[in-house]
Structure 1
Amino acid sequence: MKSPTRGSLAALLACAAVTAGAGSAVAGERVPVSVPMEGVEHALGIPAPRVGAQLPVPVPGAVDGPRYVEGRLLPAGLVPVVPFSVPLPGVAAQSLVPHVVGGGAERASAVVGGPDAVVGTPGVSFDAPVSGPRPDSFGLPRAALPVAGLRTPPLQTAPAAWLHLT
């Protein structure tokens, strides 16, 4: 098999793997990621903490599209706000905490996460620098001030964190 053919086949397999992974990630809305700490454990000779994270996958919501407004040439909300539901990135860490007095150790864990965040893209609204056809001037438009507006993107969430000592 020639090199270009092998490269094309490798690219096709990589795309298929990414697509399959993205399909399973969208189903769960979070992609789990573990942080490898085995090297620290072997280098220092102590039990290393376990750290893991969950990266969010944004899911687009329903778009409130442009709508006609009487007296304007261009529709309002020409570039609509696109809402997204995004789970907050979660982080979990566990580590052994040795007793200061006496022997033994306890396990401490921290979890950071929370409910989904609702975010959106900014929206834009324009109006042309001319008015619509005017019946008093034989259907010709008049000059008007241009109108431009920016709709601020929404952001709603309630982050949370938990600390456990067992």
Structure 2
Amino acid sequence: MTESYLKAKRRQKKLEKQIIGNADLDSRNKQLVLIEESIEKVFDKAIKKIQDADRNSDYSKLISSMLEESIRTIGTPDIIIQTNSKDKSVVQSLLSKFSGATLSNDVIDCLGGIKVQSKDGTMKFDNTIDARLERLKPLIRKDIASKFGR
């Protein structure tokens, strides 16, 4: 075999590896895009369910735990609570459990949950469902992607 033949064979192998590598990379990228699109669809469906959810006793328990968490986070029970129009009556019904807490007349635009601030305005905590979802999205995405081996 001639030297030029061996060089041509090496170039052929190198080119073959590049083509296969590029195809593998392209395939993985397409898979990641499909996974991301599917994750977004799941988030959209979950948000729709949350929007349509009944404000029942289980939901009231959720709001109560959000209030407790918010008070712990801010470090004082003297708080002003903001919520959306759907949750206003739920929060109002829980106020007697939380002395020092006041419900603001202002409503906020959110799926549900609460925003609180200390009465002196120095501390604020966004404990809305929207904010919680945003804080958890990266972990949820990572968990779902790991199920697909990515």
TM-score normalized by structure 2?
Answer: 0.27
Choose between structure 1 and 2: higher strand proportion.
1
Determine which structure has greater relative contact order: mean sequence separation of CA pairs < 8 Å that are 6+ residues apart, divided by chain length.
2
Choose between structure 1 and 2: higher helix proportion.
2
Larger Rg: 1
